[in-house]
Amino acid sequence: MKIYLFGHDCRYAAEQMLLTLFPGERPEYPDGTPEGDRAELSYFEGTARATAVCRFVRGGDVFVGRAAADRAKMTDDLSRARLLQRIVALSFYRAALNAGIKKPVWGALTGIRPGKLMSRLLQEGLSDRAALSKFVRDYDADPSRAKLCLYTAHAGLDCEKSLAPKDICLYIGIPFCPTRCAYCSFVSISVEKSMKRIPEYLAALDREIEETAAVIKELKLRPVAVYMGGGTPTTLSAPQLDALCTKLEETFDFSAVREYTVEAGRPDTITREKLAALKSHGVTRVSVNPQTMDDRVLAAIGRKHTAADVLEALDAVRQADGFLINMDLIAGLPADTPEGFQKTLETVLSLAPENVTVHTLALKKGSGIMREDTPLPPPEAVGEMITAADEALFSAGFLPYYLYRQKYMSGGFENVGWQKGGTESLYNICIMEELCSIVALGGGGSTKLCMGAGRIERLFDPKYPAEYIESIEKVLADKHKITQLLARPQGPAGLQEDRYHAL
């Protein structure tokens, strides 16, 4: 879509709203006189009010949307930038709705962490009821989405109280899987071929563990949650997992660790020996991720296992005893239907996991689904699946505890983590609510340093095994940037655009 900006340069706000309202479209910013189908976004500042106006032109018809803010609330550059972005986006939203564009479930809300907005309202002292209605009113969000945010905001605020200033989470990336799922953009296309590099990868990772532990010790940071993800860490053999966990616990101080999660996402990688190894190292939480319990859908997404394999894996995890179990599902997978998804939900709930995470399919560039143009359930069907999940989980006694949105999600929905009986994952809340720094090691690891006043600094490890192994010297050197960054004097908060980037 052609976008013209007048009196401001809020491309970010314009593009986020474009993505929300017209998920398939990309922005263009032509020079010259506006023409054709377009959005003209103008901004004016008066003495008392700042106003944004959008002229949305479609097929020769013109639709106008307006939004305004009180100039008195623009007390500094940051508050001005925030309000400017907000009213520009809102004017675009209103013009598009005037043109008959279907209202998104999240209304005018953009960004990946809507729960943080609800947290802010509660921190300002609003009651649950007042926060809910303000959230719905301000963002035009569906009340069902506001309700999800209320639960996750409370979970975040409770979690925050339990953290000390030097607490951190550790992430260890194992970017290997037995095969690549059709919707995946995490592991490399040649994931099967890269398996032979596991020993080299683990040797490099050992070096990064040592370097990172030294930095963390020097900074007196205290790991409280450990998360081994990927990829699928249980792609490693039992002796490899045992050696890795031994290295971790001998190198880091795990005495304050409250939660230790290992993703065992693919049931076809789970064995009793691996579970015994994990248990012997104090792993507390295991994630077994069927995504669907429909064999047809499993085949359509390139999984080489059946729903029966999931049942067998779950049985093995239960028999190993002592693990909290999370199960991930995805709404909107190819070949799935609302009826099929409902059956998946029923089967998963009958297995009584403590946590269930319901994702909405995100259409990621580089995934097999996008490359092959695979037919997918329409957004209405995805909406039915998400509604069914919310209803089934609430009535089974689960509560939402973290939530995030991603770019290009089917129907503009979200991913929600649900827990039963106070079993929420500390790591998931910390990363989503940005409550403490996450120090990441291994392929695909993304270190996020919380610098105070909402500032975040990021450091990235290379994504794929080959580049990780080959650039290990740089990876080790980069770990010392953690010290440099945390030693920097804390400047004023910048505008943290809640972008749809990798978490």
Q: Which residues bind ligand SF4 (CB under 6 A)?
A: 177, 180-181, 184, 186-187, 230-232, 265-266
**291 - beta bridge partners?**
329
Complex with ligand SF4: residue 184 or 439, whichever CB lies closer: 184
Separation between Cα atoms, residue 233 and residue 286, nearest integer Å:
11
Which of 436, 470, 32 has its CA nearest to residue 216? 436
In the complex, minimum distance from the CB of residue 177 to ligand SF4, in angstroms, rounded to a whole number = 3
Supply the DSSP symbol for 28: B
Contact 15, 5 (CB under 8 A): no
Which of 150, 172, 223, 128 has its CA nearest to residue 402? 150
Complex with ligand SF4: residue 322 or 366, whichever CB lies closer: 366
Complex with ligand SF4: residue 95 or 369, whichever CB lies closer: 369
In the complex, minimum distance from the CB of residue 288 to ligand SF4, in angstroms, rounded to a whole number = 11
Tokens of 297: 């859908």
Tokens 């239907």 appear where? 337
Complex with ligand SF4: residue 328 or 433, whichever CB lies closer: 328
Complex with ligand SF4: residue 231 or 353, whichever CB lies closer: 231
**Shortest-Cβ-distance residue relative to ligand SF4:** 184
In the complex, minimum distance from the CB of residue 368 to ligand SF4, in angstroms, rounded to a whole number = 10
Which of 80, 154, 150, 195 has its CA nearest to residue 495? 80
Complex with ligand SF4: residue 194 or 232, whichever CB lies closer: 232
Separation between Cα atoms, residue 167 and residue 291, nearest integer Å:
32
- For residue 80, the SS3 value is helix
Separation between Cα atoms, residue 389 and residue 418, nearest integer Å:
10
Complex with ligand SF4: residue 266 or 405, whichever CB lies closer: 266
Find the Cα–Cα–Cα–Cα dihedral 263, 265, 266, 272, rounded to 10°: 40
Which of 109, 112, 152 has its CA nearest to residue 128? 152
In the complex, minimum distance from the CB of residue 473 to ligand SF4, in angstroms, rounded to a whole number = 26
In the complex, minimum distance from the CB of residue 448 to ligand SF4, in angstroms, rounded to a whole number = 20
Alpha helices by DSSP H, listed for 36-124, are 77-98, 114-123
Tokens of 489: 């004097």
Separation between Cα atoms, residue 73 and residue 108, nearest integer Å:
21
Complex with ligand SF4: residue 328 or 354, whichever CB lies closer: 328
In the complex, minimum distance from the CB of residue 180 to ligand SF4, in angstroms, rounded to a whole number = 4
Complex with ligand SF4: residue 154 or 180, whichever CB lies closer: 180
Contact 38, 1 (CB under 8 A): yes
Contacts (Cβ under 8 Å, ≥6 apart) of 208: 441, 442, 461, 472, 475, 476, 479
In the complex, minimum distance from the CB of residue 186 to ligand SF4, in angstroms, rounded to a whole number = 4
In the complex, minimum distance from the CB of residue 300 to ligand SF4, in angstroms, rounded to a whole number = 13
Contacts (Cβ under 8 Å, ≥6 apart) of 443: 173, 174, 175, 201, 230, 231, 461, 462, 463, 464, 465, 468
Complex with ligand SF4: residue 230 or 400, whichever CB lies closer: 230
Complex with ligand SF4: residue 251 or 306, whichever CB lies closer: 306
- For residue 163, the SS3 value is coil
Tokens 């991720």 appear where? 289
